Amino acid sequence: MDWLFSTALVGASAAFATTFDDNVYLTAFFGKVNRHFRPKHVVMGEFIGFTALVLASLPGFFGGLVIPEMWIGLLGFLPIIIGITNFMSREDNEAIQDVSLDMTPDKPRRPNKSLWATLRDRQTYRVSAVTIANGGNNIGIYVPLFASSNINSLGIILAICYLTVGVWCFLSYRMTSNPLMAPLLARYGRKVFPLVLIWLGFSILMKSESYRLFPGFGT
């Protein structure tokens, strides 16, 4: 059961590191809900965008099936580099706080109510586009994480990540009554973000025993 606990811990850390600031733009989107732009557009768009980031990272998992684990583990340096870069950066790179999208449809129409209609609605994919654009670092984090995972641990990590996305959607919807909370959470989250990434990177390096590739660390 130790592997289950350690995998869940890694999954929770990765989920936090890659989705903690989503609540900022999600709160902005929920704040723009009207007759034609509904909460389900936001939720579905967020999940579609997140799924696109996951699919773009899956080649790392398949690469891990054919490349020796010790070598694939060197990808753990990616989240370490991202974490150090964010830690040293002096830019206050705020997440998207003012989502200025035209939510007015081209022609007057009745609100779509079916799941299929929402899936086809371009409003949904405007949210997805913001999710993908905001998740630029996600692929650099997921690729080494997926590459160092087997099918069981990958399933647990993805389940935790998707659950976290759902939690952010719920919290962001609730925070529309107090939109100042989202930037506040994101600001404090960014202080923890680099440390979590650095820990994830070292966790990947240790798990794959990639440190043995360096002189003085091997046995």
For 43, the domain range is: 2-90+112-209
Per-residue pLDDT band for 45 (boundaries 50, 70, 90) equals very high
- 142, part of any domain: yes
Rounded to the nearest 10 degrees, how much is the dihedral formed by the CA atoms of 92, 98, 100, 104? Answer: 160
Query: pLDDT of 68-77, one tens digit each?
Result: 777 877 777 8
Number of domains in the chain: 1
> In whole angstroms, what is the distance from residue 24 CA to residue 94 CA?
9
Q: Residue 25: inside a domain, yes or no? A: yes
| 105 inside domain | no
Cα–Cα distance between 157 and 8 in angstroms, integer?
7
- pTM of the full predicted structure? 0.76
Q: What's 177's DSSP letter?
A: G
Name the token pair of 172: 């962001």
Q: Is residue 97 part of a domain?
A: no
The span from the CA of 127 to the CA of 29, in Å, is 8
**Per residue in 179-198, pLDDT tens?**
667 666 666 666 776 888 78
Residue 170 located in a structural domain:
yes
Q: Which of 97, 121, 101 is nearest to 111 (CA)?
A: 121
Does a structural domain hold residue 80?
yes
